[in-house]
Chains A and B, each alone.
Chain A
Amino acid sequence: MRTFCFHESSCVRVVLSAAAAIMQIGILTFVPDAALAHGERNQEPFLRMRTAHFYDVKWSTNEIPVNGEIVVTGKFRLFPIWPVNLPLPEAAFLGNGTPGPVLARTESYINGVPAIQSTKLELNRDYEFKTVLKGRVPGYHHVHPMINVMGAGPLLGPGNWLTVTGNESDFKLSIKTLSGETIDNLETWGLGRVFFWHGLWVAIAIVWLVWWLRRPLLLPRFRALTEKGGDRSQLVTSTDRLFGAGLLVATILTVFFGFQATDTAYPRTVPLQGSRATVEPLPEVPEQVKVVVNKSNYDVPGRSLRMNVTLTNNGSSSAQLGEFLTSNQRFINHEVSQAMATVDPNYPKELLPPNGLKVSDSRPLKPGETKTVDIEAADAAWETERLSSLINDPDNTLGGLLFYYDEHGKRTISNVSGPMVPVFTDPDNRTAENPKGGAG
């Protein structure tokens, strides 16, 4: 007799390969890797550069126990050069970018207004936010502030790592209702009633199904209907009809009296709340330094963004360019001590490119002064954060914020935006693999 395996060794190989394949599928299915971030790098650069710019973001801690609290605060500005292919933020919601509900959100505010409902936001205005989160699922979680904009999707702020320790089973989120009930834990509230009613109706349904399934079912019934001599009266008997009628009455009465009893048990209920909140932006601050982008290039082999800009100080104090912020990457000018002082030691390192910002003339811009400078933000982050793919975008306009500081450390912010031209080659033979150039 011929068999599938001609030789024993072949057979063993086949069996082992099959076993390995099954194990791989099993591992991939049941032991997934933890999702370590939220796909922010997968968002197109135009989304990250020209929608919401988060700044001054702080995480109150980087480790909490289950039921412990972390407070995330900061500000965001909705960029005025909003992508034309996105709807305006007519409805926006302050979310939190976490791996699902591993943290429970207990409070959130935009400019002090509770953010439990969505709201309309304005472009070129700043908003302050605060979110209070409670540890729920132990683990190592990436926590971002986030603005969801209707039609544009989630716009993520910077993310920081948080360790949640303890046992998930210890988690509790309690609240007292306005009608006097104390809810010990929202996770399990009402489930007894859910299981009872679902279980009861499933049991009744099974009785109805078994009533019919206990008799010969498919072929005998089909033959009885289609062949001569079949007795159709036995397929549905008067007892069946009587039982059905009884069940019909019982069902309607149960629903009716169950509804009445529930209404009596919970006389004070409210519908779901679906209104919109009204949030005023922070007071408008006139842009002290006017920025005109004369030219901007993205040097592909050198992985650096170079801008030639003309700056005009229209304010009454000096202004020194300290930081360029785009896509949550903070390019800090190391020559400006006030800018360096704003960097929290606990701020995520991956969001602080080490080379920082190079400015051809870092001297303070005097009131009324205009000067043209070259700015360079060079870092591998352009590639690793997938921002360089802006060169493939049909609207390759870059966007970001420039932060200036006066001699007292007072900060002003300007928008910077302009078309970006890629540079694919250079005389030093630099490439993405060999950014220093030369013979390699």
Chain B
Amino acid sequence: MQGGTSVRLYGLEWPKESARISRVFDLLVAAILFLAVSGAFHLHYMLTAGDWDMWIDWKDRQWWVTLTPIMAITFPAALQYVFWTKFRLPIAATFAVVCLLFGQWINRYFGFHLWSYFPMSEVIPALLIPGALVLDIALLLTGNFLFTAMSGAFAFALLFYPTNWFWLAPYRLPVEVMGQLVSVGDYISYAFTRTALPEYIRLIERGTLRTFGGHSAIIASFFSAFVSILMYLAWWHIGMLLARVVTTPNTLKNFMGLTDKDEPAEAAQKAIDGTSLQGRSVAAE
């Protein structure tokens, strides 16, 4: 960094005022991006992993563990492409997941709890931050999206169940209700009724995975980790596609009296006259 009227940022000379405006721009974009990603990621996540994430009696060892990381790695992967290739910032996954968590807590507290009377104990969102940190750091350390997919995306899914077990365990204590064995989570959702979301709608512990014995969450986590690698690669490329600046032919110009053949002539005339846009304005003055 130099004294006087300019500063050096990452090896390039910047006028001080430009650097200051750039910093304000950083903050504005960060704030807008935070809200935009919160909304978009939350919408995507609610449409794909919604009920598993919304309700305490949907967070099973099989489907919740399998689906959630697969559906949650999408935005982090797409944003990682943009953040890393355009800015060398290894924070996209953490940023996306914090945005998601923000949207979820807003939604659960105001929408589910205050508006619809559900107790907070019934509607706690899943925690994805540790997996997202590992995903970001994998990209930072490897600098390669393929290695990040194989290590970071794998870890993103693998860490999901143990991360959430911290807070979920008290809801899996056994209780006896009307002579039946259920978990505390089952009983919470039974007691605080969802009128149009009855018990049978739950897609939990279905399938034959648990016939392999023991804790199906482990097998589900590894399966989810494998699919998350593929999802990561797919969404990294979706991020690449969406980050491209593309233009489409302006067909409306025909209605404005312009045709394609006019353009070369106009350009040629400009070249002859030596009039650029700036030149015209100067001439007009």
Using CB atoms and an 8 Å cutoff, list the residues of chain A in contact with chain B: 38, 91-93, 95-107, 109, 114, 116-118, 136-137, 146, 148, 150, 153-154, 173, 175-179, 181, 183, 186-191, 193-194, 196-198, 201-202, 204-206, 208-209, 212-213, 216-225, 227, 229-232, 234-236, 240-241, 244-245, 247-248, 251-252, 254-256, 258-259, 262-263, 265-266, 268-274
Q: Which residue of A lies closest to B163 (CB)?
A: A255
Which size class do B's interface residues fall under? 35 or more
Assess whether B90 is in contact with A255, with CB atoms less than 8 Å apart: no
Q: Which residue of A lies closest to B179 (CB)?
A: A114
User: What's the Cα separation between A345 and B179 when bound, in Å?
Assistant: 36
Query: Known interface pairs A173-B191, A218-B29, A224-B11. Does A205 touch B98 (Cβ–Cβ under 8 Å)?
Result: yes
Assess whether A101 is in contact with B118, with CB atoms less than 8 Å apart: yes
How far, in Å, is B106 (CB) from chain A's closest CB? Answer: 13
Assess whether B129 is in contact with A231, with CB atoms less than 8 Å apart: no
Assess whether B162 is in contact with A255, with CB atoms less than 8 Å apart: yes
User: What's the Cα separation between A396 and B124 when bound, in Å?
Assistant: 45
- For residue A251, which residues in chain B have a CB less than 8 angstroms away from its CB? 130, 133-134, 137, 159
A contact face: mostly helix, strand, loop, or mixed: mixed
8 A Cβ contacts from B92-116 to A: 94-95, 97-98, 101, 105, 116
Using CB atoms and an 8 Å cutoff, list the residues of chain B in contact with chain A: 9-12, 14, 19, 22-23, 25-26, 29-30, 57-61, 86-91, 94-95, 97-98, 101, 105, 116-121, 124, 127, 129-130, 132-134, 136-138, 140-141, 155, 159, 162-163, 165-167, 169-188, 190-196, 198-202, 204-206
User: What's the Cα separation between A235 and B129 when bound, in Å?
Assistant: 24
Assess whether B200 is in contact with A114, with CB atoms less than 8 Å apart: no
How far, in Å, is A146 (CB) from chain B's closest CB? Answer: 7
How far, in Å, is B145 (CB) from chain A's closest CB? Answer: 15
- For residue A150, which residues in chain B have a CB less than 8 angstroms away from its CB? 200-201
User: What's the Cα separation between A366 and B200 when bound, in Å?
Assistant: 46
Assess whether B205 is in contact with A271, with CB atoms less than 8 Å apart: yes
How far, in Å, is B94 (CB) from chain A's closest CB? Answer: 5
User: What's the Cα separation between A208 and B125 when bound, in Å?
Assistant: 22
Query: Known interface pairs A102-B117, A205-B94. Does A229 touch B198 (Cβ–Cβ under 8 Å)?
Result: no
- For residue A245, which residues in chain B have a CB less than 8 angstroms away from its CB? 137, 141
User: What's the Cα separation between A118 and B134 when bound, in Å?
Assistant: 41
How far, in Å, is B244 (CB) from chain A's closest CB? Answer: 15
How far, in Å, is B254 (CB) from chain A's closest CB? Answer: 34
User: What's the Cα separation between A236 and B195 when bound, in Å?
Assistant: 52
How far, in Å, is B204 (CB) from chain A's closest CB? Answer: 5
Assess whether A248 is in contact with B133, with CB atoms less than 8 Å apart: yes
How far, in Å, is B104 (CB) from chain A's closest CB? Answer: 10
Assess whether A186 is in contact with B187, with CB atoms less than 8 Å apart: yes
User: What's the Cα separation between A273 and B57 when bound, in Å?
Assistant: 9
Assess whether A114 is in contact with B177, with CB atoms less than 8 Å apart: yes
Q: Give the 3 A-B CB pairs with smallest separation, nearest first.
A: A231-B11, A224-B10, A187-B119
User: What's the Cα separation between A183 and B176 when bound, in Å?
Assistant: 13
B101, B173, B181, B192: the one contacting A266 at CB < 8 Å is: B173
Assess whether A262 is in contact with B174, with CB atoms less than 8 Å apart: no
Task: Give the most central of A188, A190, A194, A202: most B CB within 10 Å.
Answer: A190
